[in-house]
Amino acid sequence: MSSKGKLRRWRLAIGLVILPMVLATIYYGIFATDRYVSSAQVVVRQDGGNQAAAMPGLSTLLTGTNPASREETLYLREYIGSMDMMLLLEERLHWIEQYADQHSDMFFWINKDAPREDLLKYYQRMVTAHYDETTGLLRVEVQAFTPELSEQMLRTILSASENFVNEVSHSIAREQMTFAKSELATARVQYADRKAELIDFQNTNKVLDGANTAQSRATIIADLEGQHTKEQAVLTEMQFKLRADSPQVKQQKQRVNAIAQQLAKEKRLLVSSTDGSQLNVVASAFQQLTLDAGIAEASYKTAVAALDNARIEASKKIRTLVTVVSPNTPQLALYPERLYNLATILLGLLMLYGITRFILASIEDHRD
């Protein structure tokens, strides 16, 4: 191989391998700042074992966890990485200023006056939450430049997360109970109104049961019609035997007329007229009011049962945050992993160098 070719290879090696490795070594040896990691594992658990037992078995087999708890845990993961959590940590710990005090590591430096969107991106690099589909645990890690700050931030995050889980579950329970109570109050008012209307109607028309009163009146009319027919037959028979001006005939005629007048009076009370005060109208109105009161009573009973069910279901849906692994105070800096990163960079540079050599060799062969 010619000296020109060797020189080219050396230049290529220096440019692609040696110089980048020197820069990486200088960065990790001098500028890279130690980052301490505090971690914890939590899970959102749902109270009420009966409801969990009623869940479909397929979801539990696939995820290994209660689907409702999984959903709440994923909500919590998004909350931990949200702007709300970032601002809450800034309010309690002033973490931005403490992170901004680090100036040596350019890749992990943050300007405390940066826009919120940039601060959120930086925050999401330093605070991570990973959900394990197998165990259902949420692993929360906080990187900081001091062990104390990483632990403080993690404990504050868990405290805020517990409040978040409690507020979400209790708000759902409160909404259900508020709706059930409002429905019960409405049903109670409607039932009281229907009962009051029925009582007022009874007092106004002086009847206890319009339908029974009308039925009784119809029975009386039937009896009167029977008596009238019987007495009329007696009168007819007497007219064949006695003179028309005889006292017996006159007395029988008076009896028949009296029965006929009473029968006509009873029919007028029973059959409707324009003023709507007859018994058939009263019976019809009473029946409608009774029906309305029955419906209102059934609705009231249903609302009472719904309130009891809502109270039971609300107690089952209460979620709690369970800390499986508590936050720790780190003693060793986990990041940066200097030797691992340098070895990875060297391997990548050697692969890049080999690929470049292969491409250049192929080009030279085509030229020849």
Q: Distance between CA atoms of 146 and 35, rounded to whole angstroms? A: 7
pLDDT of 10 reads 84
Residue type, 365: D
Q: Which of 167, 185, 149, 195 is nearest to 293 (CA)?
A: 195
Query: Quick one: average pLDDT of 133-157?
Result: 93
- DSSP assignment of 239-284 equals HHHS-TTSHHHHHHHHHHHHHHHHHHHHHHHHS--TT--SHHHHHH
Query: Quick one: average pLDDT of 336-358?
Result: 91
Per-residue pLDDT tens for 9-67? 788 888 888 999 999 999 888 888 999 999 999 998 876 544 444 444 444 434 444 55
Least confident of 203-212, 239-248, 281-290: 203-212
Contact between 32 and 338 under an 8 Å Cβ cutoff? The reply is: yes
pLDDT of 59 reads 41
> Which has more confidence, 32 or 368?
32
Radius of gyration of the chain, Cα coordinates, nearest whole angstrom: 47
- Does the structure show a pLDDT above 90 at 232? no
Residue 157 C-beta-side C-alpha neighbours within 13 Å: 36
Least confident of 53-67, 222-236, 326-340: 53-67
- Does the structure show a pLDDT above 90 at 130? yes
What tokens appear for 184 in the block?
Answer: 């019960």
pLDDT of 313 reads 67
Query: Quick one: average pLDDT of 201-221?
Result: 63
Contact between 210 and 285 under an 8 Å Cβ cutoff? The reply is: yes
pLDDT of 42 reads 93
Of 158-162, 275-279, 288-292, the range with the highest mean pLDDT is 158-162
Q: What angle do CA 223, 228, 231 make, to 5 degrees?
A: 125
Name the average pLDDT for the chain. Answer: 80
Domain ranges of the chain: 202-315
What tokens appear for 307 in the block?
Answer: 């309130």
Q: pTM of the predicted model, to two decimals?
A: 0.61
- How far are the Cα atoms of 89, 224, 304 from residue 229, in angstroms, in the given order? 100, 8, 57
- Does the structure show a pLDDT above 50 at 272? no
3-state secondary structure of 290: helix
Phi then psi for residue 359, to 5 deg, are -65, -45
Exposure class string for 204-228: b at 16+ Cβ within 10 A, else e: ebebeebeebbeebbeebeebeebb
Of 67-71, 97-101, 301-305, the range with the highest mean pLDDT is 97-101
Q: Distance between CA atoms of 306 and 325, rounded to whole angstroms? A: 40
Q: Distance between CA atoms of 303 and 182, rounded to whole angstroms? A: 9
Of 52-66, 260-274, 323-337, the range with the highest mean pLDDT is 323-337
Query: Quick one: average pLDDT of 278-285?
Result: 62
pLDDT of 158 reads 95
Q: Distance between CA atoms of 141 and 147, rounded to whole angstroms? A: 12
pLDDT of 283 reads 63
Query: Quick one: average pLDDT of 233-240?
Result: 77
- How far are the Cα atoms of 77, 143, 191, 284 from residue 288, in angstroms, in the given order? 58, 74, 14, 6
Q: Which of 329, 336, 332, 335 is nearest to 148 (CA)?
A: 329
Q: Distance between CA atoms of 163 and 159, rounded to whole angstroms? A: 6
Per-residue pLDDT tens for 101-110? 888 888 888 9
Q: Which residues contact 41 (CB under 8 A, 6 or more apart)?
A: 137, 138, 139, 140, 323, 324, 325
Q: Which of 203, 262, 190 is nearest to 228 (CA)?
A: 262
